[in-house]
Chains A and B, each alone.
Chain A
Amino acid sequence: MPRADVVVIGAGLSGLSCAAELAAGGARVFLAAKGYASTHWTHGGTDVAAPAGARTPREGVATLAAIDGHPYGWLDGALDAAIAAHRVRLDTAGIGLVGTLDDPLVPIPTAIGTLRPAAILPAAQAAALEPWGDDGLLLVGFGRYRDAWASYAARNLRASAWEAGPGEIRALEVDLPDLAELHNLNARSLALRFDDPAWRTRALATISARIPPGAWRVGLPAVLGSAAHLAVLEQARSTLGHEVIELPSLPPSVSGLRLATALERQIMGSGGRVQVGFDVVEVERDRRRIVAIHTEAASRTLRLAADTFVLATGGIGGAGIRAHPDGTLEERVFGLPVEAPPRDGWFSDDPLVPHPLEAAGIRVDDLHRPIGQDRMPLLDNVRVIGSALAGMRYLAERCGDGVALASAHHVASSLARSAVAA
């Protein structure tokens, strides 16, 4: 490996987006990651901000930016350009991105029949954003797929207060062809089947035959193809004769997997390199500079030297930050200090409400260099992005994707500027 300009560590939304932007700008980029990340287990939408009371993502961002120490306090300005760049990347990949920062946050149905707020979604989920008018919602489950619960979801949605929701909500269980002898199908195994044109033609015909008369939007499990997603989505719309809405469920998330695959391709298409599956095992350091990292590789280690290292390893959920039995928290690659509430205040009593520990993370300066208690940079050539950042509660605030994209763009553009200046 020749020396890289930038080594990005982490293959979540922030790391992939940052590497894609840098590579497209001509930098020599190497992305190294221990494994795939939150893209593979989340819903694949673009959560920018949806704190209580916000009518649009932009209003939500303003609310969050006012919270002391929240990344939107300085990243809000980067958001428009970040979303625009993300849109271009997803359009190129055939995934699409519908909705803007100024569109209303509307309640969209989940796989168990609750409602969550969204404004910006991939094309396959976007029909849930349109006003329902007289349309009904027909939820379809597949007989042998364990993670679509159409009847349960429909009953919950009918019992919920869904203002301006569908006129009618129904559920339907359909047995797709050739699955009877198979076991434990997950979203990805079904998506790979939908990639096969002959099988999906029969499968869609089977579903179509069961759809009752009326004006429906058809809610399907989020399994409409992987590599051939765009073709599957178009064929589903035309065969069913209705708009379709993918409903993401348990991991693996096909929506997120499409996104990660597309970004990885774009990085490599711009000459960047991607290595997923190997942990960082050693760090070479010269005072406040990182000289190189070593990753595991087959029967040896790989030395990656670079001018700049972008840390996109995630927070606790992505295992970029790890807690020890004594209650201390550690950033795993560079051993950076982690800001967190005291141990006895980490959790709420109810698992379904926010926990104070969710705000744990790494404090950074305006260049996103990690800083210590004295606010001075700890490492001069490291930039921290994504959910490793302190001060946000990405589940409660539904801001994880927005912060990932904005911080990735902020860092990528400032690195590009300094490269030009040099």
Chain B
Amino acid sequence: MTMPAEVDVVVIGGGATGAGVLRDLAMRGLTATLVERGDFASGTSGRYHGLLHSGARYVESDPLSARHCIEENAVLRRIAPGTIEATGGFFVATPDDPDDYLERFPAACATAGIEAEPIPLDELFRAEPLLNRRIRAAFRVPDASLEPWELVDATLASAREHGATAYRYRPVVGIDRAADGSVQAVRTRDARTGEEATIACRAVVSASGAWAGQVAALAGATLHMSPGKGSMLILNRRLTSAVVNRLAPPGDGDILVPVHTVCILGTTDITVENPDDARVTADEVTALLADGERLVPGLSGARVLRAYAGSRPLYDAAEVGGEAHHDESREISRAHHVIDHGTRDGVGGLWSIVGGKLTTMRLMARDTVDAVARALGNEQPCRTGDEALPAPGGSRPYWLGDRLSAVESAGGGDADLVCECELVTRARLTHALDERSDSSLDDLRRTTRLGMGPCQGAFCIPRASAMLDARRADGRLEDAAPDANAALRAFAAERFRGTRPIAWGDQLTELWLSAGIFRGTLAADALPPSAGRDDAAR
């Protein structure tokens, strides 16, 4: 793929925010391209709890953010309904939650414009029979479950329809500046081939979230981020059918989100130096389970499939605000913030968008592009809330039954399941590889859910690796495509990283089954580094 030589705006970062910015730029008629260091939505966007916020979580601590959430909640339901499962949500007061918070909550929701309907407890327990019977109050709020990969995919697809381009595995290695200090080009390197490319531009938007400090530094600007590591556990089935939040100031282990066939228990918050630090510690797991017990007694006995962590794009408000934005900074410091590095650091044409929530991604993009477009003399209004995104693959991607129907209606060998846990067929994988032939198995996971079920890849990894190998042998994959043996090793290691922190009970036995397959029967530890390309004897 040849990258454009020149665009109006280069967007750095292929998460939800960057995808939203790209789409907004394109819809206003600006030429734009996006570069992402890894796979799309492989950073914070793909490593979150899957919640479409109602905003009720922030009504006390952060009223502006709460207002943003409820407004954008409605917008996303309108423009991206296929990525949302309308589970609804509850806020529940457990015996350990403070009385005064419970008393203030309804008024605070009303002020923020969030419907919070008090629910009789017998109704709550009928709807959610596993919840703690000592819960003493409950409110229904418009929380929902949101599929981040589908949302980012659909947003990028819309941006492409409007003429933009987006490239993954293209880390930025430099940002070139003119004599007056303003940006004039972005240099990227292909993470697989090492090939460098320079894209001339009039403006750069850094939508790199927790990594924004590193990107700003490339342009000689200083931005101090305080990444907040949030760890989450995946439980092997839905313990509740709606999102359940604790009625308390935001803290650890305070939310259960039903996502696809599983549910996510979140979320810790630990400030880390390095946003790439995604290790989940034993202490975090213990704390999450102990807090989860307050919502669903016996939860620690449920089967935990995986643990994972994302890096919140938090920043030091005083630092970011600077003098020029003093008036606003205090108010919006817990929400998102558009930083103009021209006025702040003398790096004209560079903006960073930091903070915010996945739920407010479209609003964050609008505010950013308002600033960028104005500076570039573009007067077009934002239309991203008016036009629906292209519908994702299935009408209800979260619904396993839709995938089952697709399997049943297809015929031939392509309907065979490669991943039995998540019903991923050979046809689905082939299609994903046809679309993005340079995909690693982990990239395929993000588009197809390969390897995300209870066995965490024990069966699908060798099958999918053999598929990759066959395609390479047929010459249908780009040189950048991972070798089958490297792919097998890398994905086995990736799946193991998430299983290791929660390896007890059935999941530890499953890990031993996996070890028996990989090391016992298949002796995968003896795989040559590369499967080689010779196929003369086929």
Query: Does A316 lie within 8 Å of B509, measured CB to CB?
Result: yes
How far, in Å, is A408 (CB) from chain B's closest CB? 20
Query: Does B412 lie within 8 Å of A180, measured CB to CB?
Result: yes
Q: With contacts A154-B537, A159-B532 known, is A43 near B520, CB below 8 A?
A: yes
Q: With contacts A155-B531, A184-B417 known, is A250 near B517, CB below 8 A?
A: yes
Q: Does A417 contact B (CB under 8 A)?
A: no
Q: Which of A286-345 contact B (CB under 8 A)?
A: 315-319, 322-327, 343-344
How far, in Å, is A190 (CB) from chain B's closest CB? 13
Which of B282, B514, B525 lies at the interface centre, i.e. has the most chain A CB atoms within 10 A of its CB? B525
Interface residue from A171, A181, A325, A352 paired with B489 (Cβ < 8 Å): A352
Q: With contacts A41-B517, A144-B413, A395-B516 known, is A158 near B524, CB below 8 A?
A: no
How far, in Å, is A165 (CB) from chain B's closest CB? 14
Query: Does A155 lie within 8 Å of B535, measured CB to CB?
Result: yes
- The CA of A355 and the CA of B420, in the complex, are separated in Å by 27
Interface residue from A38, A184, A358 paired with B416 (Cβ < 8 Å): A184
Q: Does A208 contact B (CB under 8 A)?
A: no
Query: Does B462 lie within 8 Å of A352, measured CB to CB?
Result: no
Q: Which of B24-75 contact A (CB under 8 A)?
A: none
Query: Does B521 lie within 8 Å of A111, measured CB to CB?
Result: yes
How far, in Å, is B485 (CB) from chain A's closest CB? 7
Q: Does B503 contact A (CB under 8 A)?
A: yes
Query: Does A171 lie within 8 Å of B538, measured CB to CB?
Result: yes
Query: Does A114 lie within 8 Å of B524, measured CB to CB?
Result: yes
- The CA of A305 and the CA of B217, in the complex, are separated in Å by 74
Q: Does B169 contact A (CB under 8 A)?
A: no
Query: Does A347 lie within 8 Å of B503, measured CB to CB?
Result: yes
Interface pick from B263-271, B321-329, B386-394, B464-472: B464-472
Residues of A within 8 A of B531 (CB): 113, 152, 155-156, 159
Q: Does B200 contact A (CB under 8 A)?
A: no
Interface residue from B416, B470, B521 paired with A249 (Cβ < 8 Å): B521
- The CA of A29 and the CA of B201, in the complex, are separated in Å by 82
Q: Does A228 contact B (CB under 8 A)?
A: no
Query: Does A317 lie within 8 Å of B525, measured CB to CB?
Result: no
Interface residue from B493, B514, B535 paired with A350 (Cβ < 8 Å): B493
How far, in Å, is B468 (CB) from chain A's closest CB? 9
Q: Does A356 contact B (CB under 8 A)?
A: no
- The CA of A321 and the CA of B77, in the complex, are separated in Å by 47
Number of A-B contacts (CB under 8 A): 172
Residues of A within 8 A of B282 (CB): 327, 343-344
Q: Which of A181-209 contact B (CB under 8 A)?
A: 181, 183-185
- The CA of A352 and the CA of B522, in the complex, are separated in Å by 11
Query: Does A156 lie within 8 Å of B505, measured CB to CB?
Result: no
- The CA of A351 and the CA of B524, in the complex, are separated in Å by 10
Residues of B within 8 A of A396 (CB): 519
Interface residue from A151, A168, A325, A343 paired with B473 (Cβ < 8 Å): A151
Interface residue from B485, B493, B504, B513 paired with A156 (Cβ < 8 Å): B485
- The CA of A253 and the CA of B513, in the complex, are separated in Å by 13
- The CA of A266 and the CA of B52, in the complex, are separated in Å by 60
Residues of A within 8 A of B508 (CB): 316, 322-323
Q: With contacts A41-B513, A155-B531, A159-B531 known, is A114 near B522, CB below 8 A?
A: yes
Residues of B within 8 A of A317 (CB): 509, 512-513, 515-516
Q: Does A170 contact B (CB under 8 A)?
A: yes
The contact string, 1 if C-beta is below 8 Å from chain A, for chain B 137-171, is 00000000000000000000000000000000000
Query: Does B534 lie within 8 Å of A155, measured CB to CB?
Result: yes
Interface residue from A42, A183, A318 paired with B520 (Cβ < 8 Å): A42
Tell me the interface secondary structure of chain B in the complex.
helix
Interface residue from A144, A324, A353 paired with B504 (Cβ < 8 Å): A324
- The CA of A180 and the CA of B411, in the complex, are separated in Å by 9
Query: Does B528 lie within 8 Å of A160, measured CB to CB?
Result: yes
Q: Does A147 contact B (CB under 8 A)?
A: yes
Q: Does A110 contact B (CB under 8 A)?
A: yes
Q: Which of A230-253 contact B (CB under 8 A)?
A: 248-251, 253
Residues of A within 8 A of B417 (CB): 146, 183-184
How far, in Å, is B150 (CB) from chain A's closest CB? 26
- What residue in chain B is nearest A249 (Cβ atoms)? B521
Residues of B within 8 A of A41 (CB): 513, 516-517, 521
Query: Does B489 lie within 8 Å of A156, measured CB to CB?
Result: no
Query: Does B505 lie within 8 Å of A143, measured CB to CB?
Result: no
Q: Which of A131-176 contact B (CB under 8 A)?
A: 143-144, 146-147, 149, 151-152, 154-156, 158-160, 168-171
- The CA of A183 and the CA of B523, in the complex, are separated in Å by 28
Query: Does A325 lie within 8 Å of B509, measured CB to CB?
Result: no
The contact string, 1 if C-beta is below 8 Å from chain A, for chain B 110-126, is 00000000000000000
- The CA of A396 and the CA of B520, in the complex, are separated in Å by 8
Q: With contacts A152-B484, A158-B534, A351-B515 known, is A147 near B520, CB below 8 A?
A: no
- The CA of A285 and the CA of B523, in the complex, are separated in Å by 43
Query: Does A325 lie within 8 Å of B289, measured CB to CB?
Result: yes
Q: With contacts A146-B418, A151-B469, A325-B289 known, is A346 near B503, CB below 8 A?
A: yes
- What residue in chain B is nearest A251 (Cβ atoms)? B517
Query: Does A38 lie within 8 Å of B286, measured CB to CB?
Result: no
Residues of A within 8 A of B412 (CB): 180
Query: Does A183 lie within 8 Å of B416, measured CB to CB?
Result: yes
Residues of A within 8 A of B469 (CB): 149, 151-152, 155
- What residue in chain A is nearest B485 (Cβ atoms)? A156
Q: Does B530 contact A (CB under 8 A)?
A: yes
Query: Does A169 lie within 8 Å of B537, measured CB to CB?
Result: yes
The contact string, 1 if C-beta is below 8 Å from chain B, for chain A 390-418, is 00000110100000000000000000000
- The CA of A42 and the CA of B515, in the complex, are separated in Å by 11
Q: Does B300 contact A (CB under 8 A)?
A: yes
- The CA of A249 and the CA of B525, in the complex, are separated in Å by 15
Residues of B within 8 A of A158 (CB): 532, 534, 537
Query: Does B527 lie within 8 Å of A147, measured CB to CB?
Result: no
- What residue in chain B is nearest A109 (Cβ atoms)? B523
- What residue in chain B is nearest A212 (Cβ atoms)? B537
How far, in Å, is B54 (CB) from chain A's closest CB? 31
Q: Which of A212-264 contact B (CB under 8 A)?
A: 248-251, 253
Q: Does A211 contact B (CB under 8 A)?
A: no
How far, in Å, is B392 (CB) from chain A's closest CB? 25
How far, in Å, is A93 (CB) from chain B's closest CB? 21
Residues of B within 8 A of A268 (CB): none
The contact string, 1 if C-beta is below 8 Å from chain A, for chain B 450-481, is 00000000010011011001100100000000
Q: Which of B273-308 contact A (CB under 8 A)?
A: 282, 285-286, 289, 300
Query: Does B514 lie within 8 Å of A351, measured CB to CB?
Result: yes
Interface residue from B470, B495, B505, B527 paired with A112 (Cβ < 8 Å): B527
Query: Does A116 lie within 8 Å of B526, measured CB to CB?
Result: yes
Q: Does B415 contact A (CB under 8 A)?
A: yes
- What residue in chain A is nearest B469 (Cβ atoms)? A152
Q: Does B500 contact A (CB under 8 A)?
A: yes
Q: Does A65 contact B (CB under 8 A)?
A: no
Which of A41, A112, A181 lies at the interface centre, i.e. has the most chain B CB atoms within 10 A of its CB? A112
Query: Does B523 lie within 8 Å of A116, measured CB to CB?
Result: yes
- The CA of A398 and the CA of B488, in the complex, are separated in Å by 22
Interface residue from A112, A154, A322, A323 paired with B524 (Cβ < 8 Å): A112
- What residue in chain B is nearest A171 (Cβ atoms)? B538
- The CA of A396 and the CA of B515, in the complex, are separated in Å by 10
Residues of A within 8 A of B495 (CB): 351
Would you mind naming 15 contact pairs between A and B with Cβ atoms under 8 Å apart?
A146-B463, A151-B473, A154-B537, A154-B538, A155-B535, A159-B532, A250-B517, A251-B517, A324-B505, A325-B300, A327-B504, A346-B503, A347-B500, A351-B514, A352-B492
Given A251-B513, A251-B517, A351-B492; 11 other pairs, CB 8 A cutoff: A42-B520, A112-B465, A143-B413, A146-B463, A158-B534, A158-B537, A181-B411, A250-B517, A352-B492, A353-B525, A396-B519
Q: Which residues of B contact A (CB under 8 A)?
A: 282, 285-286, 289, 300, 407, 411-413, 415-418, 420, 459, 462-463, 465-466, 469-470, 473, 484-485, 488-489, 492-493, 495-496, 500, 503-506, 508-509, 512-528, 530-532, 534-535, 537-538
* Cβ-closest 3 pairs across A and B: A317-B512, A149-B466, A351-B496
